[in-house]
Amino acid sequence: MQTTDISAAQQAMADESVKRLAMICWSNDLDKVWPTLILATTGAASGLEVDVFFTFWGLRVLQKNNKRFTGKNWMQKGESFVDRGGTDHLKLGKIHFAGMGTWMIRKLAKQYKVASPTELLEMALECGVRLHPCQMTMDLYGLSPEDFIDGLQPTLGAASFIDMAAKADITLFI
Amino acid sequence: MQTTDISAAQQAMADESVKRLAMICWSNDLDKVWPTLILATTGAASGLEVDVFFTFWGLRVLQKNNKRFTGKNWMQKGESFVDRGGTDHLKLGKIHFAGMGTWMIRKLAKQYKVASPTELLEMALECGVRLHPCQMTMDLYGLSPEDFIDGLQPTLGAASFIDMAAKADITLFI
Amino acid sequence: MQTTDISAAQQAMADESVKRLAMICWSNDLDKVWPTLILATTGAASGLEVDVFFTFWGLRVLQKNNKRFTGKNWMQKGESFVDRGGTDHLKLGKIHFAGMGTWMIRKLAKQYKVASPTELLEMALECGVRLHPCQMTMDLYGLSPEDFIDGLQPTLGAASFIDMAAKADITLFI
C-alpha cells in the first residue's frame, strides 16, 4: 500500500515538474496572433505543455486560407467577408500608413527571417501545441468543422479552458 | 500544540485546494467584456474564487445603465458622453460594417442563446464573483458610488489587486 | 552533506516565498502602458520581483524621448515617424474626441496626481523592476542600443521570457 502511495506521489511530482502554458487567442489581428504563435512554439520547444484556446475573433485564425465565405445566414456570411479567416489574411490591429502597415511588417519580418503566422501555426502543430476551437464562437460564426485546418483538438467551452488554465504555470489573454 | 499545528496545516491545504481566478477588466469594449464575464461566471460555477478588478475604460462596465452623464468637471462629463457607461451600451472595439457590427453580434448572440453582458453581470454577482472598482480610475472619471450598480466590493488600488493576483492560479489582463 | 541539503532546501523555500510578476508590454498605447507601469512599480513596492518584456509596439516605450527618427531602412524610418517612441509621446489606443482624448487624460491624471508614464518608468528602474527589450523586435525596427534609455537589462528572446514567466506567480499580457 505504502509503495503505491509513494509512487503515486512521485507520479504527481513528475506531472508537477512539467510546466504548462495556457493562452487565450482572442484576436485575429496580425500583431496579436504573431506573439501568440511565437510564445506557443517557443514554449513547446522549451518543453512546456501548451494549450491555446481560440475564441471570438481569434477563431478566424484556425480557418483554411482558401475559404472565402463562411457562415449559415447573411449576417455570418457578411462578417466572414469583412473579417476573412486564415493566417494568410491577418491584418494589423493598428491602422496606419494608409494600409501599408500590414504589408510592411510582413516584408520586414521576411527580411529578418521571422516565421510567418502560417509557418508558425504549422510548427505549433508539429511541436504538439494543442489548438482548441471555441464551440460558442463556432456557433456564432456559423462555422463547420470543414472550415478549419487539420490537426485541431475537439471544440471546447469556457469551463474546460478554465480547468486547463488552473493547472497552468503561465496564463495569458492575448 | 501539535494538534493545532496539524489542523492549521490542514486548513492551509484546504485553502490551497480552492483555485482562484484574478482578472483585470481594463476595457469596456463589448468584445472584451463578454469573455471577461463569461470566464468570471464559468469560473465561479466551476468552484473557483473569482476576483475582477475594473480599471481604466473597464470601470465604465460597472455603471448603472440609466446614467447618461457622469463626472464633476467638463472633461469628465465629456468623456462620459462619448464613452457611455453600463453593460447595455458597450460597443465593439473593432469598427466595421459602418457600425452594424455591434448590433449584429448582439443579435447573433441572442439567436444562439449567449447571455448578454447585462445578464452575465447579474449572474456574476449571484455566483459570488467579487467585482472591485479601481479607486484611481473613479477619481479620474469623477465618478461617485451612486453611479454604480449594487453589490460591488469596496474600491481598490493596484497594491491590493497585486496581493489577490499573487494568490491566484489564473491571472488575466483583458 | 545533510546540512547542505537542508540549507539548499531552505534557500529554495526562501526563493519560493518571494512572489514574482512577469508581464509582456506589447502595446505602446498610453492607456496600456499606464497600467503596465503602475502594476510594475506597485508590484516592486510590495516586495515582488518584477520582470517586464517589451516586445512589438511595446518596445517603443523604452526609446529615448528626444529621438525623432530611428531605423536603418526607409520602412523602419517611416514606421518610427508614424509611431514615435518614448514615454512622452504615447497616445491613447482609442481615438475619440478628435484627438483631444490623449491630452485630456494626461491633464486629468496630472490634476489627480497620477504619475506620468515617464515618471513611472524612472520609478520602475529605481525600484529594481527589470526591463527587458525584445531582440527580435529590435531587429525588425532597426533599433540600436543608443536609441534606448539607460538602465535596461540585456535584450531577450521569447524562450528566456517563457523561463521567467514559468517561475512567476502573476503573468500578464498587456
Rounded mean pLDDT, A19-45: 97
Contact C125, C151 (CB under 8 A): yes
DSSP E strands, chain A: 20-25, 49-54, 130-133, 170-173
**Does A54 have pLDDT greater than 70?**
yes
Confidence band (pLDDT; 50, 70, 90) for B5? low
C133: Cβ contacts below 8 Å, ≥ 6 apart: C54, C59, C62, C148, C152, C153, C155, C156
N-term to C-term CA, chain B: 46
What is the arithmetic mean of pLDDT over B18-29?
A: 97
What is the mean predicted confidence (pLDDT) over A14-27? 89
Contacts of C78 in chain A (CB under 8 A): 97, 104
Which among C162, C53, C22, C54 is positioned nearest to A45, based on CA atoms?
A: C162
Query: Sorting pLDDT into bands at 50, 70 and 90, what band is C105?
Result: confident
Residue with cell 525584445: C134
Question: Which residues does chain B have within 8 Å of residue C49's beta carbon, measured at their own beta carbons?
Answer: none
User: What is the average pLDDT across B104-125?
Assistant: 93
Paired with C134 in beta bridges are C156
Amino acid at A122: E
Is the pLDDT confidence value at B85 over 70? yes
Tens digits of residue pLDDT in A117-157: 999 999 999 999 999 999 999 999 999 999 999 999 999 99
- How far does A35 lie from chain C, in Å, by closest CA? 8
What does the pLDDT average to over B69-86? Answer: 89
d(CA C36, CA B102): 29
Distance from the first to the final alpha carbon of chain C? 46
Please give the ipTM for the structure prediction. 0.88
Domains and CATH numbers, chain C: 19-173 (3.40.1260.10)
Q: What is the pLDDT of residue B1?
A: 42
Residue C7: the pLDDT is 64
Interchain contact B75–C (C-beta under 8 A)? yes
- Of the listed ranges B78-82, B160-164, C1-5, C78-82, the least confidently predicted one is C1-5
The secondary element (H helix, E strand) that includes residue B22 is strand B20-25
One-letter-per-residue 3-state SS of chain C: CHHHHHHHHHHHHHHHHCCEEEEEECCCEHHHHHHHHHHHHHHHHCCCEEEEEECHHHHHHHECCCCCCCCCCHHHHHHHHHCCCCHHHCECCCCCHHHHHHHHHHHHHHHCCCCCHHHHHHHHHHCCCEEEEEHHHHHHHCCCHHHECCCCCCCECHHHHHHHHHHCCEEEEC
- Give the mean model confidence (pLDDT) for residues A38-61: 97
Residue A77 to residue A83: CA distance in whole angstroms? 10
List B109's β-bridge partners, or say none: none
CB-CB neighbors (< 8 A) of A170 in chain C: 162, 165-166, 168, 171
Range 125-144 of A in CB contact (< 8 A) with B: 136, 139-140
pLDDT at C130 over 90: yes
**Residue B6 grid cell:** 496539524
Which DSSP state fits A17?
Answer: H
Give me chain A's average pLDDT, please.
Answer: 90
Q: What is the pLDDT of residue C32?
A: 96
Q: pLDDT by residue (tens digit) across C33-60?
A: 999 999 999 999 999 999 999 999 999 9
Return the higher-pLDDT residue of C113 and A5: C113
Q: B125 by DSSP, 3-state: which?
A: helix
Cα dihedral: A37, A40, A45, A50 (round 10): -150
Residue contact B173–C19, C-beta within 8 A:
no
Q: Which of the residues C24, C30, C34, C38 would you substitute to probe the B interface, choosing the one with the greatest number of B C-beta atoms within 10 Å? A: C38
- Residues of chain A in contact with residue C26, where contact means CB-CB under 8 angstroms, are 32, 35, 174
Would you tell me how many other CB atoms lie within 10 Å of the CB of residue B76? 19
* List of residues 6+ apart from B103 with CB closer than 8 A: none
Q: Torsion over CA of C68, C69, C70 and C73, rounded to 10 degrees?
A: 180
Closest CA to C90 of C58, C135, C122, C132: C58
How many Cβ pairs within 8 Å bridge chains A and C?
Answer: 64
Instruction: Using alpha carbons, list the distances in angstroms from residue A135 to B119, C31, C35.
Output: 20, 32, 32
Handedness of CA A166, A33, A132, A70 (dihedral sign): positive
Q: Which is higher by pLDDT, C172 or A78? A: C172
For chain A, percent of residues with pLDDT exceeding 70: 87
**Higher local confidence (pLDDT), C98 or A7:** A7
Look up residue C120 and give its three cell numbers: 513611472
Q: Residue B52 pLDDT > 90, yes or no?
A: yes
**B82 interfacial to chain C (CB closer than 8 Å):** yes
Which of C112, C116, C129, C173 is the mutation pick for testing B, counting most B CBs within 10 A? C112
Is B115 in the A-facing interface, judged by CB distances under 8 Å? Answer: no
Would you call B120 an interface residue with chain A, using a CB distance cutoff of 8 Å? no
What is the per-residue pLDDT for A15?
63
Chain B neighbours (≥3 Cβ pairs under 8 A) are A, C
Cell numbers for B60, please give them. Answer: 465604465
In this prediction, residue A30 carries a pLDDT of: 94
**Count of alpha carbons within 13 Å of A30, Cβ hemisphere only?**
18
**C100 or C166: which leads in pLDDT:** C166
The percent helix, strand, coil of chain B (3-state, each to 5) is 55, 15, 30
Q: In this complex, is the C-beta atom of B53 within 8 Å of any C-beta atom belonging to chain C?
A: no
CA A155 to chain centre: 12
Task: Examine the pLDDT at A102 and tell me if it is beyond 90.
Answer: no
A116: amino acid identity, one letter:
S
pLDDT for res B43: 98
Residue type, A145: P
Task: Tell me, yes or no, if C44 comes closer than 8 A to chain A by beta carbon.
Answer: no
Residue of B nearest to A134 (CA): B35
**Torsion from C-alpha of C2, C7, C13, C17, nearest 10 degrees:** 170
